[in-house]
């Protein structure tokens, strides 16, 4: 789908058509997390686990072959691991910014270490060097 921006006051807005909002299960007041690598823009509705399951099932019903999810700070409390195992999500990738004391995870959950990134950022900051290149793809 190709969309263009619409002028809105002193800014520009991305208009999301109602059928797409319904497919995603979002409302006009749903907050979105926005991520970009300078080339692509990823809009992710901010939700709870129940809404994430509904979202994943909607994607599946509409032809998605594989569903991947990611989050920076994976809070895997309560029945989160058990619920992940039952979900249609193929892989959840999280960082280790929160200590995961649960022991064994579902094979659907991959935890990436941020230790090397944080260490390099500390060294560069101490040397008064730029850290922006650490966040380029």
Residue 106 lies in a domain: yes
- pLDDT at position 72: 80
Which one is predicted more confidently, 36 or 2? 2
Number of domains in the chain: 1
Residue 34 has pLDDT above 90, yes or no: no
Name the pLDDT band for 36 (thresholds 50, 70, 90).
low
Q: How many residues does the chain have?
A: 137
| Stated pTM of the model | 0.55
- Three-state DSSP at 12 gives strand
Name the pLDDT band for 120 (thresholds 50, 70, 90).
very high
Residue 96 lies in a domain: yes
Residue 93 lies in a domain: yes
Residue 83 lies in a domain: yes
Residue 9 lies in a domain: no
**Model pLDDT for residues 59-115, shown as the tens digit of each residue:** 888 888 888 888 887 777 677 788 788 888 888 888 888 777 655 678 888 888 889
Domain range enclosing 53:
47-135
Residue 91 lies in a domain: yes
What CATH number has the domain bearing residue 80? 3.40.50.2020
Query: How far apart are the C-alpha atoms of 93 and 110, rounded to whole Å?
Result: 5
Neighbours of 136 (CB within 10 A): 7
- pLDDT at position 49: 65
Q: List the Cα angle 33/86/59 in 5-degree steps.
A: 50
- pLDDT at position 18: 83
């Amino acid at each position: 789908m190709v969309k263009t921006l619409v002028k809105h006051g002193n800014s520009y807005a991305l208009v999301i058509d109602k059928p797409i909002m319904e497919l995603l299960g979002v409302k006009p007041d749903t907050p979105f997390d926005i991520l970009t690598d300078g080339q692509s823009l990823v809009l992710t509705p901010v939700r709870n686990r129940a809404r994430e399951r509904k979202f994943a099932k909607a994607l599946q019903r509409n032809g998605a072959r594989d569903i991947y999810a990611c989050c920076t700070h994976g809070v895997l409390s309560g029945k989160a691991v058990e619920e992940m195992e039952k979900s249609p999500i193929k892989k959840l990738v999280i960082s280790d910014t929160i200590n995961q004391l649960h022991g064994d995870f579902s094979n659907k959950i991959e935890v990436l270490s941020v230790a090397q990134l944080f260490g390099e950022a500390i060294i560069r900051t101490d040397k008064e060097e730029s850290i922006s290149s650490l966040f380029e793809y």
